[in-house]
Structure 1
């Protein structure tokens, strides 16, 4: 299954900004169940965990504890090594997919804001975790995360 980009992210990528800049100080939410057909679709579930820098509190529209990418190389943007991407789970469940939101963290059905979705598994997914079992209160850390954009 491929990453699913929102219409808003696709449109912004056609401009002069790259993924690193567009998604600067964003946040990841991990959800149970099946990934929506489009990143423009509503989440359809309550998130299990929100991933920020060092599990810190995140307020949309501010840079504090937002996630960042390193400079792109060979068509890929990777998690910056200067940050610890982690979060304390808000609920217990099985991770099925994630959504990476730009700094505004616009949720629900929306085609104008930048965000992208991917699958979660223990292997072969866009976000591979040692276990997809999420327990409320437990901290999950993302050690590596790379987004590769197609050449055209």
Structure 2
């Protein structure tokens, strides 16, 4: 038999992502990097290059529904701080504690951008973002 998680618990777990991101005295940040996502959200960024930093809304996500929290305030646009191909993202609270990281794409990823080819000084836009707790 498989482990299954009730919707109420999935929502509580997803809402905890928001609580962690909103920890500290200010808004969380979302950073986009080149390269491969680290093995865990606790690991250093390794050889990845920081391409862009977004300041998130506070709260960072809306209330969970069906185990999913959706990034608040999208679309969000900033100028890229370097040139490269977006490979992954990381969210940190206002005290720079790691919260979560995930995949970047233009559709179907946890974080969707208008393009994954970022150029220094050129605007990049987050079109959508979600964090989903597994059902089982």
- TM surpasses 0.5: yes
Which contiguous aligned blocks of 4+ residues in structure 1 show a shift greater than 4 angstroms? none
Aligned-pair CA distance for 1:102: 1.8
Can you give the 5+ residue segments of structure 1 that lack an aligned partner in the other structure?
A: 1-13, 54-64, 107-113
SS at match of 1:18: helix
Correspondence 1:85-124 to 2 at 5 A: 85-106=76-97, 114-124=98-108
Does residue 75 (structure 1) correspond to residue 78 (structure 2)? The answer is no
Q: Structure 2 residue aligned with 1:31, among 8, 33, 43? A: 33
Rounded to whole Å, the distance in 1 between the matches of 2:110 and 2:130 is 8
Asked if the contact 2:71/2:128 (under 8 Å) is kept, the reply is yes
Measured on the aligned residues, the alpha-carbon RMSD in Å equals 2.5
Count of aligned positions: 119
Once residues 133 and 47 of structure 1 are traced to their aligned partners in structure 2, the CA distance between those partners, rounded to angstroms, is 13
Asked if the contact 2:114/2:127 (under 8 Å) is kept, the reply is no
| 1:41 aligns to 2:47 (yes or no) | no
Structure 1 partner of 2:134:
150
Whole-Å separation in 1 of the counterparts to 2:72 and 2:101: 19
Greater Rg over alpha carbons, structure: 2
Q: Deviations over 1:71-100 (max 9, x none)?
A: 12221111224x652321110111111111
